Amino acid sequence: MRMRRKKHGPERIAACSEYLICPDKDMPGVLHDPSEWFPDRRPVFLEIGCGKGGFASSYAASHPECNLIAVERVPDVACLALEKAKAGRGERQSDNLRILIANAQDLTRLFCEHSFAGIFLNFSDPWPKKGYAKRRLTHRLFLEQYRRLLSDHGLLYFKTDNEPLFDFSLEEFAAAGLSVEQISRDLHEDTSIKDNIMTEYESNFVSQGKPIFYAKVRFEKDHAGTTD
């Protein structure tokens, strides 16, 4: 997500510091149990590439039984997610939402193995050029990192408007030996998939009449696929 540089970005981020987690600053080089940042121990979910944080705020409000860490690598964008998290505090029964400014590729160096119950990838950047395939968040190298982060039987929830990225992702899931439990090539017309929470990008695509592609993928503990 491109964004014009924000005036007073650092100050605005600092004003929401109760919702920001800074693992490197708190204890550099240490792997963290994500529950450290929440007052109550609950299953912790990750959203990677949260953008402005609409999904994260709605998910946290509608799932008080879970904790959610929403990750965004662009500080000016994460600032908007933080402000949304702060503004939505009154809508949440639980203090269960935190924002992390980080790149997805660093998550296994920040968090303990098998410490997340699920991961959401919502409208990840498609990186259409072949030479950039390794940057796609469903590339098998990222899937191996998710395998380390997710608990046994952990789930990956993936949504995109981009059919080539979706087809690429299905190939990567198969190569990694993962089972796709639910799949839809038109999520909003599929009555078998309940309780979808829309993201900012999704609302935009749906208003243009575009279909949304969806897959729910299960990670089993000792099932390693090919990684070459």
Ligand X SMILES: C[S@@+](CC[C@H](N)C(=O)[O-])C[C@H]1O[C@@H](n2cnc3c(N)ncnc32)[C@H](O)[C@@H]1O
The residues that touch ligand X, with contacts defined as CB under 6 A, are 1, 48-51, 71-74, 77, 103-104, 122-125, 199-202
Least distance to ligand X, CB of residue 220, Å: 25
SS3 content of the chain, % helix, strand, coil (to 5): 40, 20, 40
Which of these is catalytic: 95, 106, 125, 190?
125
Least distance to ligand X, CB of residue 41, Å: 25
What three-state secondary structure class fits 117? strand
The answer to whether 125 is a known catalytic residue is yes
Q: Which two tokens stand for residue 147?
A: 């395998």
- Compare residues 209 and 222 and give the one whose CB is closer to ligand X: 209
Least distance to ligand X, CB of residue 213, Å: 13
- Compare residues 166 and 201 and give the one whose CB is closer to ligand X: 201
- Compare residues 22 and 224 and give the one whose CB is closer to ligand X: 22
- Compare residues 49 and 118 and give the one whose CB is closer to ligand X: 49
Least distance to ligand X, CB of residue 170, Å: 19
Which candidate, 33, 92, 100, places its Cα nearest to that of 66? 92
What three-state secondary structure class fits 46? strand
Which candidate, 110, 124, 118, places its Cα nearest to that of 146? 118
Buried b (16+ CB within 10 A) or exposed e, 148-179: ebbbeebbbbbbbbbeebbebbbebbeebbbe
Catalytic residues: 125
